[in-house]
Every structure is written in structure tokens, then in C-alpha cells.
Homo-oligomer: A and B are copies of this chain.
């Protein structure tokens, strides 16, 4: 099987097969493609064309492709099916976590209608359970399919159980060992099962060191735990310690990437999860909020500068350094907040000792402030500018750098303490507020110095 480039040529090829009714060739081609690539093809096809492709796939492949499709494509594709068909042709064959994922893109009423149509009642009740977990928790991310074995079994019994359970579970990495109360007590890897004597007791060969999370654990902690302990699969237990599901690393990888992309976009002033292939108005809408905040910040700056109109008229050279002061305040603020936001997200930064952290920030700011201020002082004195201006710019610059550092550190930590995502305090927010701060400091210092010197 070759890795395939899903490009215009391939789509054209597919359309040729459709128009010439080449079902056999199509089927052959699909057999040699990964679900992810088939999904990418379908993302570029019309609904009726997508149906031809899906009909050429077997049941298992159909649901794998469905899960990998773009959200919009899937929604549009499924809209041509009845709730009964969605339930029994698609959901029925999916892993429960995938089914919950697909369901969660439907409105609430549709969700329950679809589940109600499932003929496998036990599965339906699992799904109802899964979609009831709060968003962003381990419960909402887990699959209920897993292989478990009782502590009192032998290795042979355990392997036989795998044979019977294996059909339902796509990929098995470990077998979970439970006690008579269904409580998770340990794991045994398939490797160790193969290596163990068939007659050995599980109790003698299983591994008691198992890391688990609870259904209510936040997904950011799920991600951090998986990453820290190099896990491939993470068991989920209920409040009584009973094994209820598992989260596989592929979902965690997606999670980590999504969180990172979201933070990156927030930092760059984009509010919604968009990418370059989205429609023009979607892109515009995602960007507008921060632009409007920037606009408000700009208007506020203009009001502040209005106060200093006379000063600007008498000393127009003061206006020359407005961009420098504003930009440096913004840059320093963004740098400080980025480090804090990242530290909070990666859990490398304690939430205690805010005071101590700000003190450290001030020392960093002092070093950089002194360097930058000295450089600009030397520049201004060496050039034609007045001594007043040179001193004003340098004093204002170092003050702005220190204040921007403090704000950049304090605001995300404060937001985090009052349970607001600190990432929204980065980018345009910090830039805008530091612009304002910078201008006030600059002109206050200027007014003082020009009258005293």
C-alpha cells in the first residue's frame, strides 16, 4: 500500500470511474487506500458521489471513513440518511468513542432520536451514558470497548477471553485486571501474556502499577498525564474505582494538537478555530472581534493623545517616538504573558507565589529595559535630538518595559485563578492595553521633564 497524494488528478480519476460505472476498479482502488485518505477524497466530492464511494466500502471501512471526514462533509453526508439508518448502518459499527464524537455534532434532540433507533440496546445505553459526560472531561473522550480479565483467572483463561472480546475491540495494547467488584487493580501487557506460562495465575504475573484517570478528569490533565508517563492507552474509572473505559493515545495526540493550535490562534488574535481553507466570511468573522478591540484601543489612545495636543504642537518631535514606546510595551507584554500562559498550560508553573514570580519578571525586565534604554539614549544623544527628548524617551521606555512585564505576568495568572482561560489574555489584549499604558507613561514623563529641565 502506497502513501497516496490526494490531489486534483486523483479526484478527476474518481469522477471518471463514477461516470463510467467502473465499480470494480473503484473497489480495488479503495481497498488500497487508508480511511484517512478516502475521507480526504470524500471531503472534495458531492454528496451523491460520496454515496457511491461509501457504497463500495465494507461496513467497517465505512465508519472509519465517516469518522475521519471533515465535520461539514459528514454533516452534509449524514443529512441524506434517516435517524434509523444513521443508527444501524453507521453508529452500530463504530467504536463507542467515535460514535459519541459523531453524535456530539448533532443537536441534542437528534442525538437522542438516533440513539433511540439503535437495535443493540446495551450499546445504546453505553452511548447515552457517554454523551452525558461533561464536555472536556475524560468521560466524554473515552471508549467503553476494552478487554478486561479477573484477577483470579489463569493466563490461559485470559487469552481465551481476549479471543471472545477481541472482535469488539479494534486495537488491544493491554488487558485490564479487575477484582470481583469490577475495580481496576492493574494491567498486563499482551507481550507479558504471550511470555507467561499459560497455567500461571494472573494475580502472579500482572502489573500493579497502573495510572488511571476518573471520568471527571479534565482533558488537559488527560493529555499531560499521557504525555508525562509515555502512555499508549489510559484507563478511566468511575468514582468507585470501577473500570468504565479507556482513552487511546491517538485521541490524545489530536487533543494536544488542537489545544496548541487554539492557543496559537488566540495569541494571534483569532477567536474561532479556523484554517486557511475556510470560507472568506468565516475567516473574517473569526478575526473581527480582536480587530474591534484593537480599534477601541486605538480610539482610546487618540483620546489620551488629545490631552497632550499642546505639547505635541510645541514639541512635535515627541510624536516621533510614539510607535517605539507603544511597540516595545506590546512586545514585552506579549513575551511575559506567553511564558506564563505556557507554564500554566504545561503545569510547569505553580499557581502559588504570584508575588515571587512578578519579582523575577521585574528583574528580567530591568536587564532588558536598561539595555534598550541605554541604546536609545545613546542614539538620541548622538543624533540631533534634544537632551530633554532623549531622557524622556529612555525613562519612559524602561518604565514601560517594567510595567508591561508586570501586567503580562499578572493578568494571565489572575485570570487563571478566577478560572478564565489565561490564553485569551495574550496577543491583542496585552498589546492594546500596553499601547495605552505606554503612551500615558511617555507623555507624563515628557511633560514633567520638559518643564523641569
Contacts and interface: CB of A to CB of B under 8 A. Distances in A.
A109 interface: no
Interface string A301-318: 111011001001100110
9 closest A-B pairs by beta carbon, nearest first, are: A298-B324, A268-B338, A260-B260, A230-B250, A301-B323, A276-B343, A302-B320, A319-B319, A190-B190
Interface in A221-242: 225-232
A209 interface: yes
Given A208-B1, A230-B250, A323-B298, A267 B265 contact: no
A92 interface: no
Contacts of A287: 332, 335, 364, 368
B229 A36 contact: yes
Interface residues of A, number: 115
Contacts of A319: 305, 312, 316, 319, 322
Interface in A353-372: 357, 360, 363-364, 367-368, 371-372
B275 A346 contact: yes
A249 B265 contact: no
Contact of A276 (B229, B281, B348): B348
A294 B327 contact: yes
Nearest to A367: B284
Given A172-B191, A283-B364, A305-B323, 19 more contacts: A1-B210, A1-B211, A162-B191, A227-B253, A276-B339, A276-B342, A287-B332, A291-B368, A291-B372, A297-B323, A298-B376, A301-B320, A301-B321, A312-B316, A312-B319, A316-B319, A326-B327, A330-B330, A330-B431
Contacts of A312: 312, 316, 319
Contacts of A340: 276
B269 A267 contact: no
A307 B303 CA distance: 24
A439 interface: yes
Contacts of A294: 324, 327-328, 331
Contacts of A230: 36, 250, 253
A427 B334 contact: yes
A84 interface: no
B260 A249 contact: no
Contact of A291 (B210, B256, B322, B331): B331
| A256, A303, A364: most-surrounded residue (chain B CB, <10 A) | A364
8 contacts: A264-B342, A265-B342, A269-B338, A275-B349, A292-B372, A295-B324, A298-B325, A305-B322
A284 B368 contact: yes
- How many chain copies does the complex carry? 2
A24 to B, nearest CB: 20
A145 interface: no
Contacts of A270: 335, 338-339
Contact of A360 (B280, B339, B357, B360): B280
A53 interface: no
A3 B210 CA distance: 10
Nearest to A343: B276
Contacts of A325: 298
Contacts of A195: 162-163, 166
A193 B191 contact: no
A290 interface: yes
Contacts of A211: 1, 3, 34
Nearest to A282: B364
Contacts of A343: 275-277
B363 A280 contact: yes
A159 interface: yes
B265 A268 contact: no
A135 interface: no
Contact of A331 (B228, B290, B439): B290
A173 interface: yes
